[in-house]
Structure 1
Amino acid sequence: MLIAIQLLAGIALLYYGAEWLVKGGVGIAARLGIPPLIIGLTLVSFATSAPELVVSVKAALAGSGDISIGNVVGSNICNVGLILGLSALITPLAVEKQLLKFDVPVLIAVSLLLSGLGIATGGIGRIAGAVFFLLLIGYVLCNVRTALKGGGAPDDEVADEVRENRNMKLPTAFALVSVGLAALVGGAHLLVEGAVAIGDALGVSKAVIGLTVVAIGTSLPELATSVVAAIRHQDDIAIGNVVGSNIFNILCIMGIAPLIRPVQASGITWIDWSLMLFYTILLYPMVRSGSRINRWEGGGLLAVFVGYMAWLVINAAE
């Protein structure tokens, strides 16, 4: 019972920590005169992956590489299978050309790179981490350059966030950022320690815990954002949130965590890597066909995810 409370408290702290970090960060950026478009492409995009980042770094420092990498692989699987699948079931999702031309191909490329390294070496070292981090910087700069060149505007969610927090006093904004970061660190500690305790009590591997409990727990911000966006028919937010989060999960988390401490994850099997790749590569023909993800396609994504979770649980119990 105490472990369950610890897990729920950790997930809650991660969720609200990310929220406070975004609000405070947007408040600071708006007061400094940074354009809303840049805020959306950098700060808000980074903050959606903050729970996964802090949890993976915490797990890496604790020597739990299976949880660190399992969190990334599991979160990317969860983002497409559960979140995108559920969102498409709520309403068919129209796809922006930018996602099809640039973001989805980038996601496929970095997913192939991560999977190849993971299968070949069983982990991610500092050199690979540095490469991912440099690719992250390049990806963000390309997005900023493209957006500024096209004279784009921030999406409604970012614009609303800027309007709500543009008059926030700087001390208040800095306090929110500080509290948000503290909540993220505390939540990560509770979630990782609780997940490891559950695994030890049930005799379940850390890899399975990372792929299930930790991955789903850290994906709750994306789940809430995409489902609400789908209900409001804000298709670009629902899809862009998932694709952008998966790119950041790989480039940011697997760029920073291994630089702090190389991670090994022998418990992540070729089936886990393959499903992440399957989902990722499937996105391209799915969004290309009519530039829309239909309900039956969303149902298929969700069914595969449920089957995968069931397979993990059954195998873990054997």
Structure 2
Amino acid sequence: MSILLVVLGFVLLVVGGEYLVRSSVALSFKFNISKMVIGMTVVSFATSVPELLVSLQAALSGSPAIAINNVVGSNIANIGLVLGVTAMVGSIAVDKSFYKLNWPVMMLFSVALYFFLRNDSKLSPLEGAILFAGLILFLLVLIRNIKKDNNVEEVDESLAIVSNFKIIMWLVIGGLSLYFGSDWLVIGAKDIAISIGVSEAVIGISLIAIGTSVPELAASVIAAAKQEKAISLGNLIGSNIFNIGSVLGLTAIVKTIPVTEPSILKSDIFWMLGFSAVLLPMIFIGKKMQISRAKGFLLVFAYGIFMFLVFTNGKF
């Protein structure tokens, strides 16, 4: 029954996330918001709502370890699994904005999260507000840079002519799917953790984190296989920043997130910092400004080691 709840939870999160993105973009067109702003803010926020609801549901239901490790695990999976596997399918080009803006900001958010948690073993509403304010500032800088470079995010323009009734239906379907999906996923994950004798932190950083990264992984691999623009390193870095600033930031504003599992501060967050930090030297080694297949393999291999240690040590 627990496995069924987890599977149904993931399915509903994928369905709900898709309908929420569609309705958000369509609604934004109704308000004459530019494609560039829609791509950078509306879509980014909408795609993070599943993770946000899972973390919020976990924090409110007394499972803060799932809330924190959902984000930490997702950030590790975005680099080790999603970026690694996608690079193995087809090399990924890296532009200068990676080391000029995206990577430094990701490291700043990651280090800030570490010190906030290390300071008093909790993420308070004030600290959450600081992270969320930092995210808003980052988005404003991104929008200004895009205007300067005249580079517009790709947005499905067919959504501009969707009827109001269809938008409302999408919002209802998306909202209900996300609500029940996050609820069932957290309940099922907690039951599985108890039944197999591991901590909720382990389930949060593995099962839930991978599950919320599967849609992005599938889309990236399919696009890479078709030799289309698969996924930019900047987008993945942006996702990691959004996870900390939005998902944990907003969750902490609603309810203080205490650190209940020592593994979060002893090792998990250091893995996140390590995967993030290694990207900078990696783009300058071998084929410069490129994540090659070999580098992708190394990322996936390192992720495999991480997952092995998570389950063999229980609380590594």
Match of 1:300 among 293, 298, 301: 298
**Structure 1: distance between partners of 2:226 and 2:278:** 25
Percentage of matched positions with identical amino acids: 36
Deviation of the 1:234 alpha carbon: 4.2
Match of 2:149 in 1: 150
Which of the residues 281, 286, 299 maps onto 1:285? 281
- Partner residue, 2:4: 5
Once the 2 structures are TM-superposed, how far is the Cα of residue 309 of structure 1 from its aligned partner? 0.7
Partner residue, 1:190: 184
Contact 2:18-2:174 within 8 A present in 1 as well: yes
- The answer to whether the 8 A contact 1:93-1:294 is kept is yes
Q: 2:248 corresponds to which residue?
A: 254
**Deviation by residue 1:63-102 (Cα, 9 ceiling, x = unmatched):** 2110000100001011111110101100111012222311
How far apart in 2 are the matches of 1:302 and 1:250? 22
Q: TM (normalized to structure 2)?
A: 0.94
Q: Which of 162, 171, 174 is the aligned partner of 1:168?
A: 162
Tell me how far apart the structure 2 counterparts of residues 317 and 74 of structure 1 sit (CA, whole Å).
Answer: 13
**In structure 2, what is the Cα distance between the partners aligned to 1:242 and 1:174?**
30
Note if 1:232 corresponds to 2:230: no
Q: State the AA in 2 paired with 1:283.
A: L
TM-score normalised to the size of structure 1? 0.93
Q: How many Å separate the matches in 1 of 2:170 and 2:218?
A: 21
Displaced runs of 4 or more, over 3 A: 232-236
Please tell me the root mean square deviation across aligned C-alpha atoms, in Å.
1.7
**Could you report, residue by residue, the CA deviation over 1:276-311 in whole angstroms, capped at 9, with x for unpaired residues?**
000101112223451100111111110111111111
Code of the aligned partner of 2:243: N
Q: 1:276 is aligned with what amino acid?
A: M
Aligned residue pair count? 312
Deviations 1:133-170 (A, max 9, x none): 11111111111122123322223xx2xx2x23121012
What is the CA-CA distance between 1:222 and the residue it aligns to? 2.0
**1:220 CA drift (Å):** 1.9
User: Equivalent of 2:268, from 266, 272, 275?
Assistant: 272
- Does 2:132 match 1:136? no
Residue 27 of structure 1 deviates from its aligned partner by: 1.1
Which structure 1 residue ranges, 5 or more long, are not aligned? none
Cα distance between partner residues in 2 of 1:287 and 1:38: 29
User: Which residues of structure 2 form unaligned runs of 5+?
Assistant: none
Alpha-carbon distance in 2 for matches of 1:288, 1:224: 27
Q: Compute the displacement of 1:232 (Å).
A: 3.4
- The separation in 1 between residues aligned to 2:234 and 2:49, in whole angstroms, is 17
